[in-house]
Amino acid sequence: MTDGGSDLAAQVGDLSRRLLALEAELEQLQATRTGDATMWGPRFAEIYDEFTDRFRGSTADVTAKLQGYLPDVRRLVHAGGVVDIGCGRGEWLTLLRDAGVRSCGVDTNPAFVTAAVEWGLAVELGDAVGYLRALRQDSVDMVTCFHVIEHLDTEQLLALLEAARGTLRPGGCLLVETPNPQNLVMAACDFYNDPTHRSPLPPALTEYLVSSQGFVDIEVRALHPKSLPAPTEGTGEDSPAQLPELLQRLLFGPQDYAVLGYKGAETSQ
């Protein structure tokens, strides 16, 4: 009887240890899901809206930049509409709605999602990859992703690209925008204004990763160069305008870039 009781106690102890290990593994997986806001921590999540206003720009500023993509939308988007990943404050979805374009989005920030729904936008709270996989395959005209991929590790990014390709119709377009580390100020300083950024992605790397997931006819666009500071009286040769062209480009060149890739005519993987 004593031996049986000891065996049972040992089994219970072993099961308890396994359960604790599984719970720890689950917490780790939940914290590293694609675009999961829980990795920010609750305190940063509470101030993220204010943080976005300060470091990304006002809604009006962001909207003005996004308007440059409307010609692509008019060229590519039909009944399948646009799916926006990490839609944030909803500037892009609002712009699309006002242009009469069918669109929807997903984000992991509950405050952003609640506000977007109140504004009449079709936004869901959830994980990007799971959201894309739940959509009908080969159905969407365009998947957009603005300033999200720099928050992901390589495996998460590849999973997102794969899921986006599965959702897109043949000929559909993936559009991602991210900070440009070819601008030295961005690479060395401004990129790290956001503590949830992982590491800058050089344009050549993003282009390659997109192509590795089966996208074709890939285009890289340099975006949002900084203006040279206006020379002040008496600056002479010290004026930024007098810097060599290469140095001007490295310091004041495009702060962001976009990669556009298209799904080939073959059926989805």
pLDDT value, residue 269: 43
Lowest mean pLDDT, pick from 7-11, 41-45, 49-53, 227-231: 227-231
Measured distance CA(269)–CA(219) in Å, rounded: 22
Which H or E run contains 161?
helix 154-167
pLDDT tens digits, one per residue of 151-179: 999 999 999 999 999 999 999 999 999 99
pLDDT value, residue 56: 79
pLDDT value, residue 244: 74
Which H or E run contains 123?
strand 123-125
The C-alpha angle 162, 168, 171, rounded to 5 degrees, equals 115
Tokens of 9: 């106690």
CATH class, 40-263 region: alpha beta
C-alpha 35 chain-centroid distance: 8
Q: Which of 118, 59, 64, 69 is closest to 89 using CA atoms?
A: 59
Q: How crowded is residue 10: how many other Cβ atoms within 10 Å of its Cβ?
A: 10
The C-alpha angle 81, 173, 148, rounded to 5 degrees, equals 90
pLDDT tens digits, one per residue of 188-228: 999 999 999 999 999 999 999 999 999 999 999 999 888 76
pLDDT tens digits, one per residue of 62-109: 999 999 999 999 999 999 999 999 999 999 999 999 999 999 999 998
pLDDT value, residue 233: 54
Record the pTM: 0.79
Tokens of 151: 């928050």
Domain boundaries, the chain: 1-31, 40-263
Q: Is the pLDDT of residue 48 over 80?
A: no
Q: What is the separation, in whole angstroms, between the first and last Cα of the chain? A: 59
pLDDT value, residue 216: 98
